[in-house]
Amino acid sequence: MRPWRIARVAASLPLLVASAGGSVLRPTNALSWTAPGGTSGSVPWNIVVLLTLLTLLPALVLSMTPFVRLLVVFHFLRQALGTQNTPTNQTLIGLALILTFFLMQPVMSAVHDRALVPYEQGKLDAMAAIEQGTPPLRQFMLKYTREKDLALFLDLAHQPRPQHRDDLDMRVVVPAYILSELKAGFQIGAALYLPFLVVDMVVASITTSVGMLQLPPVVISTPLKILLFVMVDGWNLVVGSLMKSFS
């Protein structure tokens, strides 16, 4: 699937979401919109609703993708290295977005083929397109969601436990998936933190034992940690392990 098709899928999501609450809006003139049922609405309100959906779309999309886990791990890694703002937040976010695009491309391809193309061809209405496009995303999220988190939100939503996982409501799947991704990100981040913590402890013990009390241990440990990370090709190992965790 080409990148421009991915962009078209993302750009079409607000229109599908906006159509989920009612009929598909069709333009009749420059001042008003008329739905198939005969109801009309003013252009300013439609623009307000669309802009609101566009504002919320990044948060919704990123919450249903591996972006959360990737970004949490990268921030833990930076804190463990003790490099302050290097790499910058923009660099880490950009890397996480690229890896998210790489991981989500098969899912977006399935949504594009099953929902967006028939919707543009007029074979499906908005509600049918949403129903056809939801299963690939639900299956992806359920693959990495813990049963414990699903049970928590099923209980909070007062919904009976379905016989099949695919029958779960997205209202339950999405928050459960976010919790599972946060837990996975913190687990990986803690595992990354331990080797660098050992280096900090060793350096602090040596500097204290030789009486170098005026020199902060972090001044010595930070270059050592960076050198160790570069020698073992750390970025390749971290990114490779993260990507394999989604395979």
Non-local CB neighbours of 91 within 8 Å, separated by 6+ positions = none
Non-local CB neighbours of 93 within 8 Å, separated by 6+ positions = 71
Cα gap 190→204, rounded to integer Å: 20
pLDDT of residue 12: 52
pLDDT of residue 46: 63
Average pLDDT over residues 30-46: 50
Average pLDDT over residues 29-37: 44
Question: 87, 75 in Cβ contact below 8 A?
Answer: no
For the cut 70, the answer to whether the pLDDT of residue 116 exceeds it is yes
Cα gap 173→161, rounded to integer Å: 13
pLDDT in tens, 195-210: 888 888 888 888 888 7
pLDDT of residue 43: 58
Range among 111-120, 168-177, 202-211, 212-221 rated most confident: 168-177
CA 18 vs. chain centroid, Å, equals 22
Average pLDDT over residues 51-67: 80
112: burial class by Cβ within 10 Å (0-12, 13-18, 19+)? buried
User: Could you give the 3-state DSSP secondary structure of residue 20?
Assistant: helix
Entry pTM: 0.74
pLDDT of residue 22: 40
Q: Write down the mean pLDDT value for the chain.
A: 79
Q: What is the DSSP string of 36-92?
A: TTS-EEEHHHHHHHHHHHHHHHHHHHHHTSTHHHHHHHHHHHHHHHT-TTSS-HHHH
